[in-house]
Amino acid sequence: MTMADRCPVVTGFYHEDTNSIAYVAADPATKRCAFIDPVLDFDRACRGTHTTFADRMVRFVREQGLTVEWILDTHPHADHFSAAPYLKGVFGAPTAIGEHVVTVQKIWKEIYNLPDFPADGSQWDRLFKDGERFTVGGLEPEVIFSPGHTAASVTYVVGDAAFVHDTLFMPDGGTARADFPGGDARTLYRSIQRILALPPETRVFTGHDYQPGGREPRWESTVAEQRAHNTHLRGGVTEEAFVKAREARDRTLSFPALLLDALQVNIRGGRLPEPEANGVSYLKIPLNYFRETGCAAVREPQD
DSSP state of 139: B
Please tell me the predicted confidence (pLDDT) of residue 295: 45
Residue 166, H or E segment: none
Please tell me the predicted confidence (pLDDT) of residue 38: 98
143-153: per-residue pLDDT in tens?
999 999 999 99
Residue whose C-alpha is closest to residue 87's, from 271, 273, 262: 271
d(CA 137, CA 134): 10
Please tell me the predicted confidence (pLDDT) of residue 291: 77
Residue 288 lies in a domain: yes
Residue 300 lies in a domain: no
User: How many structural domains compose the chain?
Assistant: 1
Residue 302 lies in a domain: no
109-145: per-residue pLDDT in tens?
999 999 999 999 999 999 999 999 999 999 999 999 9
Please tell me the predicted confidence (pLDDT) of residue 293: 52
Please tell me the predicted confidence (pLDDT) of residue 234: 87
The single-letter code of the amino acid at 29 is: A
Domain membership of residue 83 as a residue range: 3-293
Please tell me the predicted confidence (pLDDT) of residue 292: 62
DSSP state of 49: E
pLDDT mean over 52-68: 98
**pLDDT above 90 as % of the chain:** 90
pLDDT of 5 above 80: no
205-253: per-residue pLDDT in tens?
999 999 999 999 999 999 999 999 999 998 889 999 999 999 999 999 9
83-103: per-residue pLDDT in tens?
999 999 999 999 999 999 999
264-290: per-residue pLDDT in tens?
999 999 999 999 999 999 999 999 888
Residue whose C-alpha is closest to residue 70's, from 47, 49, 51, 92: 92
Residue 303 lies in a domain: no
Residue 298 lies in a domain: no
**Would you tell me how many other CB atoms lie within 10 Å of the CB of residue 59?**
10
Residue 2, H or E segment: none
Residue whose C-alpha is closest to residue 156's, from 121, 118, 198: 198
**Would you tell me how many other CB atoms lie within 10 Å of the CB of residue 10?**
20
Q: 22, 206 in Cβ contact below 8 A? A: no
CATH number of the domain that 151 lies in?
A: 3.60.15.10
* Residue count of the chain: 303
Residue 299 lies in a domain: no
- Computed over every residue of the chain, the mean pLDDT equals 93
Q: Report the greatest alpha carbon distance in the chain.
A: 59
d(CA 171, CA 158): 21
The CA-CA-CA angle for residues 96, 209, 156, to 5°, reads 30
Q: Which stretches of 99-176 are assigned E, i.e. beta strand?
A: 126-128, 142-145, 154-158, 161-163
To the nearest 10°, the Cα dihedral for 56, 37, 228, 303?
A: 100
pLDDT mean over 188-200: 97
Selected residue with higher pLDDT from 292 and 277: 277
Ordered strands of the 126-128 beta sheet: 9-15, 20-27, 32-36, 67-72, 95-98, 126-128
**pLDDT above 70 as % of the chain:** 94
